[in-house]
Amino acid sequence: MATQTTDTPVSERLPLSAEEQRLLDEGTLKDHGIQAHPRDFYRAMRKGQPIYHDKGLNSWLVTRHEDIWAVQSDPVTFSVQHGYHEQQARGMQDEFRAYLKEHGGGYFPDAIMSDPPYHTRIRKLMERAFTAHRVKELEPRLHAIVRDLVAEFADKGSCDAVRDISQPLTIRVIVEQMGLDHGMEDKIVEWSMAVTAQIGAMQSRETMLANAAKIAELQQYLIGKMKEREAEPREDMISDIVHAEVTNADGTVEKLTFEEAVSLIRAMVIAGNDTTATAIGNLFYVLATKPGMMETLLEVAEDERKMNRFVEEHLRNEPPVRALSRMAVKDAVVNGTTIPAGSHMLLVYDSGNDDETVFPEPRKFDMTRPNLGRHVGFGGGPHRCVGIALARMEVKLAAQEVARQLKNIKLAIPESEITYLPTVATHTIESLPITYDKR
Amino acid sequence: MGNLKVTMTDVNGVSKTFDGVEEGTSLMELGKQNDVAGIMGDCGGGCACATCHVYVNGDWFAKVGEPDDIEFAMLDMVADVMKENSRLGCQIKMSPELDGLEVTVAPASSY
């Protein structure tokens, strides 16, 4: 018999309007329109069915902040290992894996997308690279990259804020950090989108194979780089991973396997650029559309402490990662709802961040919130985003340089024409034409 | 095994004293190893998440010292439960000068 897994109380189910009831009856996060503008759907779920079975996705959506927090704090019952690998190329996994084995140098399951205790040792290795203090040391170099990139476009008066600035920015950072080749930036954007699409639950067989071909190309490229660094280490993260040693709980030391190393390097290339680029793209979006946003930014841009709050509230308000997967390994009761063993689940972070019981007036941009650190934009628990400090730094530097170099930022297309990447995993603006003046 | 002593009062008010703490061990690591309630250490000691927040008891704060700017930025994210003697456990590494240290685990930020 299932027991209430979490010690959170069962939340009150609130009466729904006819429209909210209709959303619960007919809505699915698989719907492109809902993906682009999901907040009404989220609110209806939080009020009426906070643990909601989405028939279109055949997933359980966890939508209240408190429930997300509880689920991610129990990584054994709610498995990433199963949730993630189940979601990847969902329904077509055998073909996906076979393709990569044949064309991509191998199928390399994501070592970091695993459960404790295995996860703990892999994770430790990644954590060392990303401490806030280490990222702070990188700041001057990162600042130069961001400043120069914004400067390239400052005179032009218009650009695509996503394709010209946000994506190249995070790619340039990752190229430098990882020790990849300059000139590969466009390829890396393409590869990142292919990897993200595999967990986006929106692929047909044709797009899955097209994406698999790009992932194969990415893997071949990375394996080539790894061989170079194996022979001749440099000051970069590929060298770090290739030569890394992991200390086990019993004190024995071992190297990562080749499969683990490829998967971690691939994860570092992908995880940190698409998501952070999305956060920066969303920043341009709010600066162009939200009254008073630019003024708020200008007030705080040169104050480091206030900038930290600005960035965090932005990440709460417009979290780039929408939802990530878990699988219940046994029957589990969350907030009064039984999730059967083997069920796929999505922790809907941007609903959690919009939960009015935690963040009053959630649509308001309020940097003074006293519980900002509670937001789940980076997830939480042992799988909390490992690149938090680097992501925050990139968003902060982007915001500061926009404030210093640009003014009068406006959308160059009607807001209704903005399109979002068709995926459940992120809330990503595909292209954002803007106009502005040089400051 | 080391010879340093630390007393941690968990988020439920239960105090535990640990003898034999090794020099260099952080309070976050100590709390996680011993399942001290309220110490989560999500980010693994990177000073990036504020889930190992402690209050340093009494006169010990002067010995432990103030947080640096990076640590302050994280404590500021849990401003509703931050106090004058707040620190992140991951940033306090045990040393002979801190032998006998007493801290209380801070509650999570509010809803």
DSSP string of A124-139, one letter each residue: HHHHHHT-HHHHHHHH
Cβ contacts (< 8 Å) between B48 and chain A: which residues?
130-132, 388-389, 392
DSSP state of A374: G
**CA–CA gap between residue A303 and residue B35 (Å, rounded):** 38
Give a yes or no: residue B5 inside a domain.
Answer: no
Q: What whole-number distance in Å separates Cα of residue A329 and Cα of residue A138?
A: 41
Report the pLDDT value the prediction gives residue A148, as an integer from 0 to 100: 97
Residue with the two structure tokens 């889930």 = B51
Interface contact flag, A371 B109, Cβ < 8 Å: yes
Sheet of strand B4-9: strand arrangement: B15-21, B4-9, B101-105, B53-56, B86-88
CA angle A422, A183, A196 (to 5 degrees): 20
Domains of chain A are 30-39+82-319+386-438 (1.10.630.10)
Closest CA to A120 of A249, A267, A256: A249
In Å, how far is A243's CA from the nearest CA of chain B?
21
Among B48, B72, B108, beta carbon nearest to A388 = B48
Q: Is residue B31 part of a domain?
A: no
Are B109 and A374 a contacting pair at CB < 8 A?
yes
Q: Do A312 and B43 touch (CB under 8 A)?
A: no
In a domain, B66, yes or no: yes
Task: Tell me if A130 and B48 make a contact (CB, 8 A cut-off).
Answer: yes
Q: How many CA atoms lie within 13 A of A37 on its CB side?
A: 8
> Residue type at B92?
I
How many CB atoms are closer than 10 A to CB B22? 12
Residues whose CB is less than 8 angstroms from the CB of residue A351 and which lie 6 or more positions away in sequence, other chains included: A38, A42, A45, A46, A61, A63, A64
Neighbours of A63 (CB within 10 A): 29
Residue B10 within any structural domain of the chain? no
Model confidence pLDDT, tens digit, residues A293-329: 999 999 999 999 999 999 999 999 999 999 999 999 9
pLDDT digits (tens, 9 = 90+) for A46-62: 999 999 999 999 999 99
Q: Which chain B residues contact residue A130 at CB under 8 A?
A: 46, 48
Which H or E run contains A328?
A: strand A323-328
> How far A132 CA lies from chain B's nearest CA (Å)?
6
The answer to whether the CB of A105 falls within 8 A of the CB of A220 is yes
User: Is the CB of residue A351 less than 8 Å from the CB of residue A23?
Assistant: no
**How many Cβ pairs within 8 Å bridge chains A and B?**
81
**Per-chain mean pLDDT for chain A:** 93
Which one-letter amino acid corresponds to residue B109?
S
- pLDDT band at residue A192 under the 50/70/90 scheme: confident
Position A412 confidence tier, pLDDT thresholds 50, 70, 90: very high
Which of B44, B50, B110 is nearest residue A127 as measured by Cβ atoms? B44
CA separation for the pair A324, A113 (Å, rounded):
11
Instruction: Assess B62–A contact: CB distance below 8 Å, yes or no.
Output: no
Over range A61-73, report the average pLDDT: 96
Q: Report the CATH number that the domain containing residue B94 is assigned in CATH.
A: 3.10.20.30
B75/A184 Cα distance (integer angstroms)? 39
- Is B1 an interface residue toward A (CB < 8 Å)? no
pLDDT at position A7: 56
Neighbours of A22 (CB within 10 A): 12
Judged by a CB distance cut-off of 8 A, whether residue B76 touches chain A is yes
Note whether B49 contacts A388, CB cutoff 8 Å.
Answer: yes
pLDDT at A202 over 90: no
pLDDT at residue A3, as a whole number: 47
pLDDT at position A368 is: 96
- Residue among A322, A371, A353, A339 at smallest CA distance from A71: A339
Q: Would you say B82 and B72 are in contact if contact means Cβ atoms under 8 Å apart?
A: no
Residue that the structure tokens 């931050």 belong to: B82
Q: What is the dihedral of CA B111, A292, A401, A160, to 10 degrees?
A: 100
**3 state DSSP class of B24:** coil
Q: How far is residue A302's CA from residue A400's CA, in Å, rounded to a whole number?
A: 7
Question: What digits encode the pLDDT tens for the residues A356-395?
Answer: 999 999 999 999 999 999 999 999 999 999 999 999 999 9
Q: CB-CB: which of B70, B79, B109 is closest to A132? A: B70
Over residues B57-88, the pLDDT tens digits come to 999 999 999 999 999 999 999 999 999 999 99
Nearest Cα neighbor of A139 from A308, A320, A385 is A308
- Inside any domain, residue B2: no
A132 in contact with B, Cβ within 8 Å: yes
Number of domains forming the structure of chain B: 1
**Which of A353, A371, A385, A392 is best to mutate for the B interface (most B CBs within 10 A)?**
A371
Q: Please answer whether residues A21 and A15 qualify as being in contact, where contact means their C-beta atoms are separated by less than 8 angstroms.
A: no
What global pTM score does this model have? 0.93
Lowest mean pLDDT across A8-12, A69-73, B46-50: A8-12
> Residue A231: which residues within 8 A CB-CB, separation 6 or more?
none
The arithmetic mean of pLDDT across residues A86-115, rounded, is 90
Q: What band does A1 get if pLDDT is binned at 50, 70 and 90?
A: very low
Residue B69 structural domain:
39-111
Considering only alpha carbons, which residue of chain B is nearest residue A352?
B111
What is the C-alpha separation between A425 and B109, in angstroms, rounded? 27
Shortest Cα distance from B72 to chain A (angstroms)?
A: 9
List of E strands, A117-215: 158-160
Helix (H) or strand (E) holding A254, with range, is strand A253-255
Question: Considering the domain boundaries, does residue B59 fall inside one?
Answer: yes
Q: Is residue B109 part of a domain?
A: yes
* Whether A123 contacts chain B with CB within 8 A: yes
Q: How far is A357 from chain B (nearest CA, A)?
A: 7
Q: How far is residue A424's CA from residue A28's CA, in Å, rounded to a whole number?
A: 10
Judge: A124–B44 Cβ closer than 8 Å, yes or no. Answer: yes
Give the strand pairing for A245-247 and A253-255. antiparallel
Please check whether residue B99 lies inside any domain of the structure.
Answer: yes
Search chain B and give the residue with CA nearest A377: B49
CA pair distance A285, A410, nearest whole angstrom = 9
What per-residue confidence (pLDDT) applies to A4? 52
| Torsion sign (Cα): A120, A122, A127, A130 | negative
B111/A312 CB distance under 8 A = no
Closest Cβ opposite residue A373 in set B72, B77, B111: B77
Whether the predicted pLDDT of A9 surpasses 90: no
What pLDDT is stored for residue A270 in this prediction?
85
Q: How far is the C-alpha of B34 from the C-alpha of B40, rounded, in Å?
A: 11
Q: Which residues of B touch A377 (CB under 8 A)?
A: none
Nearest residue on chain B to A129, judged by CA atoms? B46
At A273 the pLDDT is: 83
B42–A380 C-beta distance less than 8 A: yes
A124 touches chain B (CB under 8 A): yes
pLDDT digits (tens, 9 = 90+) for A231-273: 999 988 899 889 888 777 677 888 889 999 999 999 998 887 8
